[in-house]
A and B are shown apart, each in its own frame.
Chain A
Amino acid sequence: MHRDVVISGIGVVSPGGIGVKPFWDLLVSGRTATRTITRFDASPFRSTVAAECDFDAAAEGLDPEDVSRLDRATQFALVAARQALKDSGLAPEELDPCRTGVTIGSAVGCTTSLEREYVAVSHAGRDWLVDPDRAVPHLYDYYVPSSMAAEVAWASGAEGPVQVVSTGCTSGLDSVGHAVRLIEEGVSDVMIAGATDAPISPITLACFDAIRATTPRNDEPTTASRPFDRTRNGFVLGEGCAVFVLEEREHARARDAHVYAAVGGFASRCNAYHMTGLRPDGKEMAAAIAAALDEAGVAPDAVDYVNAHGSGTKQNDRHETAAFKRALGDHARRTPVSSIKSMIGHSLGAIGSLEIAACALAMENGAIPPTANLHDPDPECDLDYVPLVAREAALDTVLTVGSGFGGFQSAMVLTRPGRVGR
């Protein structure tokens, strides 16, 4: 018998708000959370805007010792996981530890802490032979990012499969997709799955500067992220985290849980083309979309909304538009497509999970979040990108996609919990 997977809890740490409610309020209002970077002096960099989280670890109830020891992205994950478990209504005694697992997606792991510690042990870059006496005892936790999943597992009592999924900017989709498989095949009944990244640090800014991927629109920080607009010129870096409680459907039904959506299908492909470039025809993303729809048992013209990768780089927006046309055919022109990166930036590996959260909340609330800052669409991007204003809509089938360095292309289909499966 096929084991279906549903989303029964959501936790979010996002630019613009901590928690599901402020996150959704921001998205439907069409407000943006991008701003001039405050976490450090970014003035030497080409791009100085980002979408930062106003995250107060102590106010979120994290232990001071944990705050000093854990990377910011790990702190996000602990807070979001706690929210998701609370939201799911699963009491600790309802969780069978051995039947519960964790997957956390992250593109760059604990990079911010690694850089901070590097500055200390290298005497601010002076010494190649770094100083072992200045290394913190928990440096290894930053070095191998599986520590992030470990912390979430310890905090939630999971003793089943625990892994970090790190496929660049598709990590957030792939992490949830991987967790879905583990439930489907019977390894787990519950997975705490999501993704986190806190990459706003000098080394990350510098590398995206070097490839001109981030926007230099520093004088207009609140409108800097402009996916699909003629004037867009790069993405706005972000940070954040979303974590879900995924459950086997009967497990959720037995405890009469509230269910946001079912994960109907998931697929990923590689473009085998270029570490940072995209082929303009969108073929592999289209293949991933087709495979995810096929698994969900829904026809392309049943898709009610597409949550785009929509990073706001020229090549992405065109690649993606081509992929939607290829996968959905004529229906692509009738389907609302939007990018929440216009509001909360691009948090690398985390964003895929934040986008799944946005899709689940869109289904729950009957509204499509808009693409902010879209005043003058690129003529080559000729779909309905839901500019500026949210739209009411009853959503039964939602598609979300991601595209990442390394050539990764992923797609996930969310469906009404009642109609999942084959």
Chain B
Amino acid sequence: MSEHMPELTIDRLARVMRECAGEDEAAAFDGDIAHVPLAELGYDSLAVMETAVRLQNEYGVHLTDDEIFGVESLAELLALARRQIPAAS
């Protein structure tokens, strides 16, 4: 886990996900996307799994299988991750 990672916010998480899983032209991120279903953003379980790899390495966050397969929005993913990042607000 890196010592100098920026705080995990919804914007930061959205950026990580975009880097991990690409961006669908059809659903470019703008506006309030925190609660938009991931499927509508063009992201499937694989996208979440790749994001989970990054979250683990950069923030020390470990998501369980059920969390990975069950998460439905960025807001949910952020909440799951923050539970394991004591420093995050």
Contact = CB atoms under 8 A, between A and B. Distances in A.
Interface stretch (B5-13, B45-53, B74-82): B45-53
A254 interface: no
Interface string A206-220: 000011100000000
A371 B21 CA distance: 37
A277 interface: yes
Interface in A222-237: 233-234
A277 B44 contact: yes
B65 interface: yes
B68 interface: yes
A210 B49 contact: yes
A212 B68 contact: yes
A272 to B, nearest CB: 14
B65 A211 contact: no
A238 to B, nearest CB: 21
B49 A277 contact: no
Contacts of B46: 211, 274-277
A271 to B, nearest CB: 14
A276 B50 CA distance: 13
A44 to B, nearest CB: 13
Contacts of A212: 49, 65, 68-69
Interface in B11-52: 44-46, 49-50
Contacts of B65: 212, 233-234
A210 B45 contact: no
Nearest to A210: B53
Contacts, number: 19
A277 B53 contact: no
A235 to B, nearest CB: 13
A274 B46 CA distance: 9
Contacts of A210: 49-50, 53
Contacts of B45: 276-277
A234 B49 CA distance: 15
Interface in A261-293: 274-277
A377 B89 CA distance: 43
A211 B44 contact: no
A273 to B, nearest CB: 10
Q: Which of B53, B65, B68, B69 has the most CB of A within 10 A?
A: B65
A242 B38 CA distance: 42
A206 to B, nearest CB: 10
B83 to A, nearest CB: 19
A376 B69 CA distance: 22
Nearest to B64: A212
A365 B47 CA distance: 46
B39 to A, nearest CB: 12
A234 to B, nearest CB: 8
A280 to B, nearest CB: 13
A275 B53 CA distance: 18
A276 B65 CA distance: 15
Contacts of B50: 210
B36 to A, nearest CB: 20
A212 B68 CA distance: 9
Contacts of A211: 46, 49
Interface in A179-233: 210-212, 233
B44 A274 contact: yes
A277 B46 CA distance: 8
Nearest to A314: B69
Contacts of A275: 46
A147 B45 CA distance: 35
Nearest to A273: B44
Contacts of A234: 65
B78 to A, nearest CB: 20
Contacts of B68: 212
A390 B49 CA distance: 38
A147 B68 CA distance: 39
Given A212-B65, A212-B68, A275-B46, 12 more contacts: A210-B49, A210-B50, A210-B53, A211-B46, A212-B69, A234-B65, A274-B44, A274-B46, A276-B45, A276-B46, A277-B44, A277-B46
Interface of A: 210-212, 233-234, 274-277
Interface of B: 44-46, 49-50, 53, 65, 68-69
8 contacts: A210-B50, A210-B53, A212-B49, A212-B65, A233-B65, A234-B65, A276-B45, A276-B46
The 10 lowest CB-CB distance pairs between A and B, nearest first, are A212-B65, A211-B49, A210-B53, A276-B46, A212-B68, A210-B49, A277-B45, A274-B44, A277-B44, A212-B49
